[in-house]
Structure formats: C-alpha cells, structure tokens
Amino acid sequence: MWAAGACCSRQAGEGGAGGATARTPVKTFQAYLPPAHRTYSCIHCRAHLASHDELISKSFQGSQGRAYLFNSVVNVGCGPAEERVLLTGLHAVADIYCECCKTMLGWKYEHAFESSQKYKEGKFIIELAHMVKENGWD
C-alpha cells in the first residue's frame, strides 16, 4: 500500500493485463504523424508535436524567444485555462506540455477577447526552443 500524493492525482494504471479486451487504455508511447510529412518534434524526447502543414505563423514571441502558431498538435497535454494580458490584448490561455516528457512547450489560445485576435482561438503556440525539425527538411 502506498498513499497517493495530494499533488498528483494520476491513476496508477488499470491493474494487470485483464484478458483479451480489445480496448486498451494504455498509451504505449505517442501518436505518430504521417512519415511523409515534414514534422516538428519535441527537442527533449522526440515525440511528434505538429505537422508543418498545420503551421499558421512563425511570427510569434514566446517567453524564450520565437514561437510558432499551429492549427493542431499531437502528444500535447493542456493545463487549466486562465486569463492573461498578452501583447495583443486579453486572452484566455492554457499552458501546453509534451505528454511524453512533460516539458512545457507553450500555450493554447482558448479565447480571444479582441475581435482582431479571434483567429487564434483553439490554436497552439509552441516555442521554437522546444522543437526540432524532423525528416531532414530545411
């Protein structure tokens, strides 16, 4: 028996191998993007993060320098949303992190209050410092 810590209420799995059920909740490692695509990966653990096709803009600024705006990402977890005043006004944003190595990568725009910023809603910012390009593209 071990007491679960208060800070991390993660379920410690679903017990042992329970027969031949088709449904397996175990996440082996990560989602993979189609290999033909140019992809961005986590610089720390090489999990795929986003396809180049999903890149919207390279002209964003993160806390550690340049950051890219993506339409969709994979292998990324999301923290609780909170309101923050950014350079472009008030937004509700949520921190996002790599699901494989738990490194904070950037944030997600949950809601933009300025109409000119609405296009960012539901989109993801990943800081360049946490990404590496895969497939040898330039």
In eight-state DSSP terms, residue 38 is: -
CA nearest neighbour of 88 among 70, 114, 69: 114
> Is 105 among the residues that bind Zn ion (CB under 5 A)?
no
Q: Of 8-16, 26-34, 37-45, 119-127, which part binds Zn ion (CB under 5 A)?
A: 37-45
Q: How far is residue 92 from each of residues 74, 102, 132, measured CA to CA in Å?
A: 21, 22, 27
**Closest-CA residue to 68 (of 40, 104, 100):** 40
Residue selected from 38, 44, 52, 111 as contacting Zn ion according to rule CB under 5 A: 44
Q: Which of 33, 42, 96, 126 binds Zn ion (CB under 5 A)?
A: 42
Distance CA 128, CA 47 (A): 15
Residue (75 or 93) nearer to Zn ion, CB: 75
Tell me whether residue 44 or residue 111 sits nearer to Zn ion (CB atom).
Answer: 44
Subset of 73-102 contacting Zn ion (CB under 5 A): 98, 100-101
Query: Under the rule (CB under 5 A), what is the footprint of Zn ion?
Result: 42, 44-45, 47, 98, 100-101
